[in-house]
Amino acid sequence: MSGQGDVLGTFAMYYPVAREPNRDDLKGVEMATRTVAIAIERTRLRQSLRDSERRFRKMFDALPPAVYITGAAGRLTYYNPPQSNFPGVCRSWKMTSDASAGSSIIHTARACL
């Protein structure tokens, strides 16, 4: 069960002979299902975030006006294609994924003056 009470899957136990599960069996099942539920929910959340980022990037890149994003220090971190047509913007900026930040946010690897 998810944190919201949704069924995420089913669990079965098989024994060499027909019998009821004992207390230890039930504790093991509870621990295993709780752990698996956390893993499933986390995977779904990550996929949802990736989908949301993909939709945002697609929308952002399709905007006709020039739009850019800067970091807290004011450094350009991302711009949409129309922004690259503005004077002073280097068309050969290398865009890379910042793995150290733990995300797929794109930033400039080098700037042009």
Per the listing, tokens 């994924």 go with 97
Q: How far apart are CA 101 and CA 95, in angstroms?
A: 15
Q: How far apart are CA 32 and CA 12, in angstroms?
A: 11
9-52 pLDDT per residue, tens: 888 888 899 999 999 999 999 999 889 989 999 999 999 999 99
> pLDDT grade, residue 63 (50/70/90)?
confident
Spacing of C-alpha 93 from chain mean position: 25
Which pTM does this prediction carry? 0.55
Give the percent of the chain with pLDDT over 70.
Answer: 72
Contacts of 40 (CB under 8 A, 6+ apart): 2, 8, 9
> pLDDT grade, residue 106 (50/70/90)?
very low
